[in-house]
Structure 1
């Protein structure tokens, strides 16, 4: 709380109060605007009106400043004003001195009485605009009030002089509420999900759900309006989207079982079964891309959820499911305050289908010019599997899916490829190796041997 010094008292003739002014949004809450909604404005964005409860006596010649942080003042389109209001007989008249990018400055041109009656003496600042570019990039926007005498001594200053007035938010939000997350059973020749993966029940389907959500105002927030004071005027939050669309990126060519380049009723899993609307969501106009590397569908005309149930396998076991990761591209078509309808877009991870399989650990394998290595993967089954190795050395991990695969009914030597990977990773000493093979664990065996060239010693480490 500001305390006047003896020097200040000696140099000022006004009886200045020691209490501090309190700055608040005139609405009493933080005024929220949609950054997408205001992005096309050409004459700036109205800063919500700011009320300052005075707690000091002012005199003609005092200088009052309202500073703005978090966005930039539009000096071209602002017509700043400061109106004094009181329940008592005192008066206060202010005139604008200057409008700058970060503040507006006023001078008290006339003043009578004591302006320090708490809650009964206030200034309302209005007419200030923010540049559209800075508002569209803004988060919280604050206003800070300050006042000094004509000789530079503070009249009102304290932490209560600063308040969050506005907040820019992304209104058209999207999230993958339910990602694809099944594990393909290699023990079932990749014909279904489950059994040895995340589930003990055979499953042929997986769900993806994308939710389009409006920004939710907190109890301390209110929608901002065009004049800066929330009322019955048009708010600066947009309406619900008129249309939504989701494109799920993934490789769905495995569903083209008759190899005609399309997924139709002629395939083992027909199109209408392969991609169906997820219950309690919207999914219309379901269309795979011509290269079968994505499928698109229309979502709700408004806020809500869009989703698919994907059938990737069947009881007949005549479809081999492809392991992969998925992403979604989502679009919300909305009307901005100015200009034609536009789209808010988002690209998000949407899960994966992984493979269950074997994991082997080679606790010790030395690398460098003094050693040679022998690492083999034996596969006694009929399911070929990708091989992924993770090298751990000196507190770091290095992971790679090898070019070599664990061929069915074969022994695959991965020594040279692992050694080259170790060298490329800068490993010249001892390392731990984790070997993951996407084939049934019961059919996989991993062996690791190193050879010390100088001593001719051979050591089996796994």
Structure 2
């Protein structure tokens, strides 16, 4: 006759024997092993902690306790104990489990291990509810964890007459059925993250205003430098790692279109080096600025610190090169070349020499340098080759206007107009107001095209036809300045060019 044991009946037995009325919290337990992805890249195997099964129903000799693991080759179950037992006492029966066999369920993609209840001891009033049995640990094949963020173990039970695996079409009688029959065996996480201040403190990033009124783009409006901070920490969103990679270098790459073009070689007569030490420097033990290009700067620290490590980058304009304005990004990378683990998590390394593992963090928006004025970028403007400065239409005519909507009378200072041209080859040419024939942006509309074309011809930029990008800077409230940009071909085909100038339509002046 089939056996059906209700959990409530088993709990009643606990009450009769003076045991706490509450059933155990879970059917299965273990101390989760937390490892990093970097750790996994170096190890072949590592052990979990012991797995304990707690019975929450009344068992008979011959019943089965089964462990289930995801996948076929992830877990090596040979390390599990062949037998587990408890001693009778305090109202609990003594229970002995013996290993029977293991296999793989292809339909459910699970590896299973089966134990049988081979002996029960104690009095007739004793119960198996609450008996805990330690089955030992399993070994994890680390390469098989690729793409996962956790691995769990589950337990189920079967009566002696139902056995396991379940026969097709058969519905086994319930034994020790629970919603709490699985537990995390392994958790995997990124080992590093940005220190919280990098994400929340705006003063840690780039935060200066470039002066275009007093000293055009050679200094900030306040302070002589900008200090930028980076700090990479161990992942604090998780508890301490049981298996981790050993770091040896941390680096942050700062980037921004043309944002480091102002850094110049302080030793131009030494072709073997690029000396920028007074313009860009890093603080911190083992830290330096490793690379500078027009649009990228890399700060590097050689350190084996596991916890957070901070380095300050100080940028100091040289007083002559023009300082660009724009936004910056930052991205951290941590280089690792070895592993460590807690003493309770043995591991084996992969054979052969393994490449460094690089922890690559997300790219952050990391501040900006703005200006105390208006800045408009015209992304595209075509020019034809020109034979002389006085040449008339060359087939392509540019249409460029600046409108100053300010209501103030400029008695002493009329805002000058500055223009930067970026050629097809990426070269930048700066034109001051004097270069443009004293061009200023007084109240009303000012035409730019003719003065700019003559200045470009004088620099040799119109020896050949080309397309350029134009930036127009006016030291005036951006809300007061609008730029119109277009061109025509053959005097008739006008092409409007969208730019990023302010378009503010207000009845009252924004600045007096």
Give TM-score, length-normalised by structure 2: 0.57
- In structure 2, distance between residues paired with 1:271 and 1:181: 21
Q: Does 1:441 align with 2:444?
A: no
Kindly indicate whether the alpha-carbon contact (under 8 Å) linking 1:136 and 1:168 is maintained by their aligned counterparts in 2.
Answer: no
Kindly indicate whether the alpha-carbon contact (under 8 Å) linking 1:72 and 1:134 is maintained by their aligned counterparts in 2.
Answer: no
Kindly indicate whether the alpha-carbon contact (under 8 Å) linking 1:48 and 1:166 is maintained by their aligned counterparts in 2.
Answer: no
State the match for 2:217 in structure 1.
190
Aligned with 2:244: secondary structure?
coil
- Give, in angstroms, the shift of residue 249 of structure 1: 4.2
- In structure 2, distance between residues paired with 1:274 and 1:322: 15
| 1:375-414 deviation line (CA, Å, top 9, x unaligned) | 8434751332699xxxxxxxxxxxxxxx9x999525357x
- In structure 2, distance between residues paired with 1:160 and 1:124: 17
Kindly indicate whether the alpha-carbon contact (under 8 Å) linking 1:23 and 1:162 is maintained by their aligned counterparts in 2.
Answer: yes
- In structure 1, distance between residues paired with 2:271 and 2:207: 23
- Give, in angstroms, the shift of residue 63 of structure 1: 3.1
Kindly indicate whether the alpha-carbon contact (under 8 Å) linking 1:55 and 1:116 is maintained by their aligned counterparts in 2.
Answer: no
Correspondence for 1:349 among 364, 370, 394: 364
State the match for 2:315 in structure 1.
311
Correspondence for 1:147 among 157, 172, 178: 157
State the match for 1:393 in structure 2.
none
Instruction: Give the CA RMSD over aligned residues.
Output: 4.4
Kindly indicate whether the alpha-carbon contact (under 8 Å) linking 2:250 and 2:301 is maintained by their aligned counterparts in 1.
Answer: yes
State the match for 1:211 in structure 2.
231
Kindly indicate whether the alpha-carbon contact (under 8 Å) linking 2:156 and 2:176 is maintained by their aligned counterparts in 1.
Answer: yes
Aligned with 1:242: secondary structure?
strand
State the match for 1:457 in structure 2.
none
- Give, in angstroms, the shift of residue 147 of structure 1: 0.9
State the match for 1:179 in structure 2.
205
- Give, in angstroms, the shift of residue 156 of structure 1: 0.7
| 1:96-142 deviation line (CA, Å, top 9, x unaligned) | 432335342314152325784554x1122334233313435432333
- In structure 1, distance between residues paired with 2:269 and 2:298: 14
For residues 65 and 24 of structure 1, do their structure 2 counterparts lie closer, same or farther at Cα, with a shift above 3 Å needed? closer
State the match for 1:124 in structure 2.
134
- Give, in angstroms, the shift of residue 155 of structure 1: 0.9
Structure 2: which 5+ runs fail to align? 12-22, 163-171, 199-203, 341-348, 377-398, 405-414, 423-427, 434-438, 440-445, 450-470, 486-502, 506-512
- In structure 1, distance between residues paired with 2:482 and 2:30: 72
Deviates more, 1:300-309 or 1:283-292: 283-292
1:6-405 correspondence runs (5 A):
11-13=1-3, 17-18=7-8, 22-27=26-31, 30-42=32-44, 44-68=45-69, 74=74, 78-81=78-81, 83-88=84-89, 89-100=93-104, 102-108=110-116, 110-113=118-121, 116-119=127-130, 121-149=131-159, 150-151=161-162, 152-174=172-194, 177=198, 178-187=204-213, 188-193=215-220, 195=221, 202-216=222-236, 224=242, 236-239=243-246, 241-249=247-255, 251-256=259-264, 260=268, 271-278=276-283, 281-282=284-285, 284-289=287-292, 293-302=296-305, 303-313=307-317, 317-324=319-326, 325-336=328-339, 338=349, 342-346=356-360, 348-349=363-364, 351-356=366-371, 357-358=373-374, 376-378=401-403, 381-384=416-419
| 1:336-393 deviation line (CA, Å, top 9, x unaligned) | 2525573423253362433333389xxxxxxxxxxxxx98434751332699xxxxxx
Aligned with 2:39: secondary structure?
coil
Aligned with 1:300: secondary structure?
coil
Larger Rg: 2
Give TM-score, length-normalised by structure 1: 0.63
- Give, in angstroms, the shift of residue 145 of structure 1: 1.8
For residues 107 and 330 of structure 1, do their structure 2 counterparts lie closer, same or farther at Cα, with a shift above 3 Å needed? closer
- In structure 1, distance between residues paired with 2:77 and 2:101: 16
